[in-house]
Protein backbone atom coordinates (compact mmCIF):
# COMPACT_ATOMS: atom_id res chain seq x y z
CA UNK A 1 0.00 0.00 0.00
CA UNK A 2 2.12 2.86 -1.29
CA UNK A 3 -0.59 5.51 -1.25
CA UNK A 4 -3.13 6.22 1.51
CA UNK A 5 -5.31 8.58 -0.52
CA UNK A 6 -8.84 7.24 -0.88
CA UNK A 7 -8.28 4.58 1.78
CA UNK A 8 -10.15 4.08 5.07
CA UNK A 9 -8.19 3.77 8.32
CA UNK A 10 -9.32 2.77 11.82
CA UNK A 11 -7.17 3.83 14.78
CA UNK A 12 -7.62 2.86 18.43
CA UNK A 13 -6.19 5.15 21.07
CA UNK A 14 -6.68 8.09 18.72
CA UNK A 15 -7.18 10.66 21.47
CA UNK A 16 -3.51 11.45 22.06
CA UNK A 17 0.05 10.55 21.15
CA UNK A 18 0.84 8.24 18.26
CA UNK A 19 -2.83 7.57 17.59
CA UNK A 20 -3.61 11.25 17.10
CA UNK A 21 -0.50 11.73 14.93
CA UNK A 22 -1.31 8.70 12.78
CA UNK A 23 -4.78 10.14 12.22
CA UNK A 24 -3.46 13.61 11.44
CA UNK A 25 -0.89 12.39 8.92
CA UNK A 26 -3.27 9.96 7.23
CA UNK A 27 -5.98 12.59 6.87
CA UNK A 28 -3.46 15.01 5.37
CA UNK A 29 -2.71 12.38 2.70
CA UNK A 30 -6.37 12.03 1.79
CA UNK A 31 -7.33 9.03 3.92
CA UNK A 32 -10.70 8.76 5.69
CA UNK A 33 -10.13 8.08 9.39
CA UNK A 34 -12.18 6.60 12.23
CA UNK A 35 -10.73 6.89 15.75
CA UNK A 36 -11.72 5.61 19.15
CA UNK A 37 -10.59 6.46 22.67
CA UNK A 38 -11.96 6.42 26.21
CA UNK A 39 -11.81 10.21 26.59
CA UNK A 40 -14.49 12.42 25.04
CA UNK A 41 -12.29 15.50 25.46
CA UNK A 42 -9.21 13.91 23.87
CA UNK A 43 -11.25 12.60 20.95
CA UNK A 44 -12.73 16.03 20.32
CA UNK A 45 -9.26 17.58 20.24
CA UNK A 46 -7.99 14.92 17.84
CA UNK A 47 -10.88 15.54 15.46
CA UNK A 48 -10.17 19.28 15.60
CA UNK A 49 -6.47 18.74 14.84
CA UNK A 50 -7.28 16.39 11.96
CA UNK A 51 -9.87 18.72 10.45
CA UNK A 52 -7.27 21.47 10.30
CA UNK A 53 -5.10 19.32 7.99
CA UNK A 54 -7.87 17.56 6.06
CA UNK A 55 -8.32 18.12 2.31
CA UNK A 56 -11.86 18.88 1.23
CA UNK A 57 -14.17 15.88 1.32
CA UNK A 58 -12.13 13.77 3.76
CA UNK A 59 -14.28 12.04 6.35
CA UNK A 60 -13.27 11.93 10.02
CA UNK A 61 -15.25 10.24 12.75
CA UNK A 62 -14.66 9.44 16.41
CA UNK A 63 -16.18 6.96 18.83
CA UNK A 64 -15.79 6.71 22.59
CA UNK A 65 -15.14 3.19 23.83
CA UNK A 66 -12.85 1.04 25.96
CA UNK A 67 -10.91 -1.34 23.71
CA UNK A 68 -10.80 -3.99 26.43
CA UNK A 69 -14.59 -4.45 26.05
CA UNK A 70 -15.41 -6.63 23.04
CA UNK A 71 -19.00 -5.39 22.79
CA UNK A 72 -17.85 -1.77 22.71
CA UNK A 73 -15.36 -2.59 19.95
CA UNK A 74 -18.07 -4.36 17.96
CA UNK A 75 -20.19 -1.22 18.37
CA UNK A 76 -17.26 0.84 17.06
CA UNK A 77 -17.09 -1.39 13.98
CA UNK A 78 -20.83 -0.91 13.44
CA UNK A 79 -20.31 2.85 13.77
CA UNK A 80 -17.65 2.78 11.05
CA UNK A 81 -19.87 0.74 8.71
CA UNK A 82 -22.82 3.07 9.18
CA UNK A 83 -20.96 6.40 9.22
CA UNK A 84 -18.81 5.66 6.18
CA UNK A 85 -21.50 3.50 4.51
CA UNK A 86 -18.90 0.85 3.82
CA UNK A 87 -18.32 -2.86 4.20
CA UNK A 88 -14.54 -2.53 4.17
CA UNK A 89 -11.56 -0.69 5.65
CA UNK A 90 -7.95 -0.70 4.42
CA UNK A 91 -5.92 0.04 7.53
CA UNK A 92 -6.35 -1.02 11.16
CA UNK A 93 -4.02 0.44 13.78
CA UNK A 94 -4.46 -1.37 17.10
CA UNK A 95 -2.62 1.34 18.97
CA UNK A 96 -4.38 1.89 22.33
CA UNK A 97 -2.40 1.13 25.48
CA UNK A 98 -1.94 2.01 29.14
CA UNK A 99 0.67 1.31 31.80
CA UNK A 100 0.38 -0.07 35.32
CA UNK A 101 -0.35 -3.44 36.90
CA UNK A 102 3.32 -4.03 37.48
CA UNK A 103 3.51 -6.96 39.87
CA UNK A 104 1.69 -10.27 39.40
CA UNK A 105 2.49 -11.03 43.04
CA UNK A 106 1.87 -7.88 45.08
CA UNK A 107 -0.87 -6.09 43.12
CA UNK A 108 -4.49 -7.09 42.83
CA UNK A 109 -5.88 -9.18 40.00
CA UNK A 110 -8.01 -6.22 38.97
CA UNK A 111 -4.98 -3.90 38.69
CA UNK A 112 -3.00 -6.44 36.69
CA UNK A 113 -5.82 -7.38 34.35
CA UNK A 114 -6.79 -3.76 33.70
CA UNK A 115 -3.44 -3.18 31.98
CA UNK A 116 -3.29 -6.58 30.30
CA UNK A 117 -6.85 -6.35 29.00
CA UNK A 118 -6.27 -2.97 27.36
CA UNK A 119 -2.79 -3.62 25.96
CA UNK A 120 -3.48 -7.15 24.71
CA UNK A 121 -7.26 -7.43 24.82
CA UNK A 122 -7.58 -4.22 22.83
CA UNK A 123 -5.52 -5.70 20.01
CA UNK A 124 -7.49 -8.94 20.08
CA UNK A 125 -10.88 -7.21 20.22
CA UNK A 126 -9.92 -4.73 17.52
CA UNK A 127 -8.70 -7.51 15.26
CA UNK A 128 -11.86 -9.57 15.81
CA UNK A 129 -14.15 -6.60 15.23
CA UNK A 130 -12.47 -5.27 12.08
CA UNK A 131 -10.83 -8.28 10.40
CA UNK A 132 -13.91 -9.00 8.25
CA UNK A 133 -13.79 -5.42 6.98
CA UNK A 134 -10.06 -5.69 6.20
CA UNK A 135 -10.64 -8.93 4.31
CA UNK A 136 -13.51 -7.28 2.39
CA UNK A 137 -11.08 -4.68 1.00
CA UNK A 138 -8.98 -5.05 -2.14
CA UNK A 139 -5.88 -4.41 -0.04
CA UNK A 140 -5.53 -4.22 3.71
CA UNK A 141 -2.95 -3.83 6.45
CA UNK A 142 -3.23 -4.45 10.19
CA UNK A 143 -0.67 -2.68 12.39
CA UNK A 144 -0.39 -3.75 16.03
CA UNK A 145 1.54 -1.69 18.56
CA UNK A 146 3.77 -3.74 20.83
CA UNK A 147 6.70 -2.08 22.65
CA UNK A 148 10.36 -2.53 23.39
CA UNK A 149 8.84 -4.45 26.30
CA UNK A 150 7.71 -6.95 23.69
CA UNK A 151 11.44 -7.49 23.09
CA UNK A 152 12.72 -7.22 26.66
CA UNK A 153 10.29 -8.10 29.46
CA UNK A 154 11.68 -5.68 32.01
CA UNK A 155 11.79 -2.09 33.19
CA UNK A 156 15.03 -2.84 35.01
CA UNK A 157 16.05 -4.99 37.99
CA UNK A 158 14.23 -2.90 40.61
CA UNK A 159 10.76 -2.65 39.07
CA UNK A 160 7.99 -5.19 38.45
CA UNK A 161 6.53 -4.76 34.98
CA UNK A 162 4.73 -8.03 34.31
CA UNK A 163 1.26 -7.02 33.03
CA UNK A 164 2.52 -4.60 30.40
CA UNK A 165 5.38 -6.86 29.28
CA UNK A 166 3.15 -9.94 29.08
CA UNK A 167 0.62 -8.00 27.02
CA UNK A 168 3.21 -6.59 24.64
CA UNK A 169 4.80 -10.02 24.10
CA UNK A 170 1.30 -11.33 23.35
CA UNK A 171 0.84 -8.59 20.75
CA UNK A 172 4.17 -9.50 19.18
CA UNK A 173 3.44 -13.24 19.10
CA UNK A 174 -0.07 -12.76 17.75
CA UNK A 175 1.10 -10.50 14.93
CA UNK A 176 3.99 -12.74 13.92
CA UNK A 177 1.66 -15.75 13.81
CA UNK A 178 -0.95 -13.72 11.94
CA UNK A 179 1.48 -13.11 9.07
CA UNK A 180 1.28 -16.76 7.99
CA UNK A 181 -2.43 -16.99 8.79
CA UNK A 182 -3.15 -14.07 6.47
CA UNK A 183 -0.89 -15.40 3.70
CA UNK A 184 -2.85 -18.64 3.73
CA UNK A 185 -6.36 -17.25 4.15
CA UNK A 186 -6.35 -13.57 3.12
CA UNK A 187 -3.16 -12.89 1.15
CA UNK A 188 -4.21 -9.36 0.20
CA UNK A 189 -4.00 -8.33 3.89
CA UNK A 190 -0.61 -7.70 5.50
CA UNK A 191 0.36 -7.47 9.18
CA UNK A 192 3.00 -5.43 10.99
CA UNK A 193 4.08 -5.23 14.62
CA UNK A 194 5.46 -1.95 15.99
CA UNK A 195 8.13 -1.72 18.71
CA UNK A 196 8.30 1.86 20.00
CA UNK A 197 11.09 2.92 22.32
CA UNK A 198 10.61 5.99 24.52
CA UNK A 199 8.11 8.08 22.56
CA UNK A 200 6.72 11.43 23.67
CA UNK A 201 3.16 10.30 24.39
CA UNK A 202 0.70 10.67 27.27
CA UNK A 203 0.52 6.95 28.04
CA UNK A 204 1.31 7.52 31.73
CA UNK A 205 -1.09 10.44 32.02
CA UNK A 206 -3.84 8.48 30.25
CA UNK A 207 -3.46 5.25 32.22
CA UNK A 208 -5.77 6.40 35.01
CA UNK A 209 -8.64 6.92 32.55
CA UNK A 210 -9.62 3.25 32.77
CA UNK A 211 -8.89 2.89 36.49
CA UNK A 212 -11.62 2.92 39.12
CA UNK A 213 -10.02 6.08 40.51
CA UNK A 214 -7.12 8.18 39.28
CA UNK A 215 -5.17 7.43 42.45
CA UNK A 216 -5.75 3.68 42.04
CA UNK A 217 -4.19 3.74 38.59
CA UNK A 218 -1.47 6.10 39.78
CA UNK A 219 -0.36 3.91 42.65
CA UNK A 220 0.03 0.95 40.33
CA UNK A 221 2.10 2.95 37.84
CA UNK A 222 4.31 4.60 40.43
CA UNK A 223 5.04 1.28 42.12
CA UNK A 224 6.08 -0.03 38.72
CA UNK A 225 8.56 2.87 38.65
CA UNK A 226 9.97 1.76 42.02
CA UNK A 227 8.26 4.60 43.91
CA UNK A 228 7.09 4.00 47.49
CA UNK A 229 3.53 5.33 47.54
CA UNK A 230 1.84 3.20 50.19
CA UNK A 231 1.78 5.98 52.78
CA UNK A 232 0.88 8.81 50.41
CA UNK A 233 -2.54 10.41 50.12
CA UNK A 234 -4.53 10.21 46.89
CA UNK A 235 -3.73 13.86 46.16
CA UNK A 236 -0.01 13.23 46.61
CA UNK A 237 -0.17 10.18 44.34
CA UNK A 238 -2.00 12.14 41.65
CA UNK A 239 0.55 14.96 41.82
CA UNK A 240 3.45 12.50 41.49
CA UNK A 241 1.75 10.77 38.57
CA UNK A 242 1.16 14.07 36.79
CA UNK A 243 4.83 15.04 37.17
CA UNK A 244 6.05 11.62 36.02
CA UNK A 245 3.70 11.62 33.04
CA UNK A 246 4.75 15.07 31.90
CA UNK A 247 8.44 14.20 32.26
CA UNK A 248 7.94 11.01 30.23
CA UNK A 249 6.07 12.85 27.49
CA UNK A 250 8.26 15.94 27.29
CA UNK A 251 11.63 14.28 27.77
CA UNK A 252 11.35 11.61 25.07
CA UNK A 253 14.02 11.35 22.37
CA UNK A 254 11.37 10.63 19.70
CA UNK A 255 8.16 12.62 19.25
CA UNK A 256 4.77 11.08 18.58
CA UNK A 257 4.75 12.75 15.16
CA UNK A 258 8.12 11.22 14.27
CA UNK A 259 6.90 7.82 15.46
CA UNK A 260 3.76 8.02 13.31
CA UNK A 261 5.85 8.89 10.25
CA UNK A 262 8.10 5.88 10.84
CA UNK A 263 5.05 3.61 11.16
CA UNK A 264 3.45 4.86 7.95
CA UNK A 265 6.76 4.58 6.09
CA UNK A 266 7.00 1.01 7.37
CA UNK A 267 3.52 0.24 6.05
CA UNK A 268 4.45 1.62 2.64
CA UNK A 269 7.59 -0.52 2.63
CA UNK A 270 5.60 -3.59 3.73
CA UNK A 271 7.81 -4.09 6.78
CA UNK A 272 6.32 -6.60 9.15
CA UNK A 273 8.64 -5.44 11.95
CA UNK A 274 8.85 -1.71 12.70
CA UNK A 275 11.23 -0.41 15.38
CA UNK A 276 10.88 3.22 16.46
CA UNK A 277 13.75 5.21 17.92
CA UNK A 278 17.46 4.65 18.30
CA UNK A 279 16.83 3.29 21.80
CA UNK A 280 14.63 0.53 20.36
CA UNK A 281 17.25 -0.42 17.76
CA UNK A 282 20.01 -0.57 20.40
CA UNK A 283 17.92 -2.75 22.71
CA UNK A 284 16.97 -5.07 19.85
CA UNK A 285 20.64 -5.59 18.97
CA UNK A 286 21.63 -6.24 22.58
CA UNK A 287 18.80 -8.72 23.14
CA UNK A 288 19.95 -10.68 20.11
CA UNK A 289 23.60 -10.53 21.16
CA UNK A 290 23.25 -11.58 24.80
CA UNK A 291 19.93 -13.38 25.39
CA UNK A 292 21.13 -15.17 28.53
CA UNK A 293 22.08 -11.88 30.21
CA UNK A 294 18.84 -9.95 29.74
CA UNK A 295 17.58 -10.26 33.28
CA UNK A 296 20.87 -9.94 35.12
CA UNK A 297 21.26 -6.80 37.21
CA UNK A 298 24.02 -5.28 35.10
CA UNK A 299 22.17 -5.59 31.77
CA UNK A 300 20.35 -2.31 32.29
CA UNK A 301 23.67 -0.61 33.11
CA UNK A 302 25.15 -1.85 29.85
CA UNK A 303 21.99 -0.81 28.02
CA UNK A 304 22.23 2.72 29.38
CA UNK A 305 25.87 2.91 28.43
CA UNK A 306 25.07 1.79 24.90
CA UNK A 307 22.43 4.51 24.68
CA UNK A 308 24.92 7.11 25.93
CA UNK A 309 23.01 7.74 29.15
**49 has pLDDT over 70:** yes
**Mean pLDDT, range 49-66, rounded to an integer:** 96
Query: What pLDDT digit, counting tens, does each position of 103-132 carry?
Result: 899 888 998 999 999 999 999 999 999 999
pTM equals 0.90
Q: What is the mean pLDDT of the chain?
A: 90
Query: What pLDDT digit, counting tens, does each position of 133-173 carry?
Result: 999 999 999 999 999 999 999 988 888 889 999 999 999 99
**Element spanning 11, H or E:** strand 8-12
Domain residue ranges in the chain = 8-204+255-306
> Would you please indicate which residues are annotated as catalytic (active-site) residues?
164
Which pLDDT does position 246 carry in this prediction? Answer: 66
The separation between CA 254 and the C-alpha centre of its own chain, rounded to angstroms, equals 15
Q: Decide: helix, strand or coil at residue 201.
A: coil
Residue in 188, 18, 17, 30 with CA at minimum distance from that of residue 9: 30
- Measured CA to CA, the distance from residue 130 to residue 79 in angstroms comes to 11
Query: What pLDDT digit, counting tens, does each position of 232-265 carry?
Result: 787 777 777 677 666 666 677 799 999 999 999 9
Give the CATH number of domain 8-204+255-306; options: 3.90.1150.10, 3.40.50.720, 1.10.4080.10, 1.10.10.10.
Answer: 3.40.50.720
Which pLDDT does position 210 carry in this prediction? Answer: 52
Query: What pLDDT digit, counting tens, does each position of 60-110 carry?
Result: 999 999 999 999 999 999 999 999 999 999 999 999 999 877 889 988 899
**214 has pLDDT over 70:** no
- Measured CA to CA, the distance from residue 143 to residue 123 in angstroms comes to 10
Which pLDDT does position 207 carry in this prediction? Answer: 57
Amino acid sequence: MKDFAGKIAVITGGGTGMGRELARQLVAEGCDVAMCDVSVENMAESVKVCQADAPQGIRITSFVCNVSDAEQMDAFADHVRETFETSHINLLFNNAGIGGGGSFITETQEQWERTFNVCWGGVYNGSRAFMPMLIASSEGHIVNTSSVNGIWASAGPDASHTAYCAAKFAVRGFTEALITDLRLNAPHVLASVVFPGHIGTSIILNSDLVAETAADGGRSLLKMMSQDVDDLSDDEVNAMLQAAGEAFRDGAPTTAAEAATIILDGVRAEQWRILIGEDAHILDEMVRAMPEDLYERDFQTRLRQARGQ
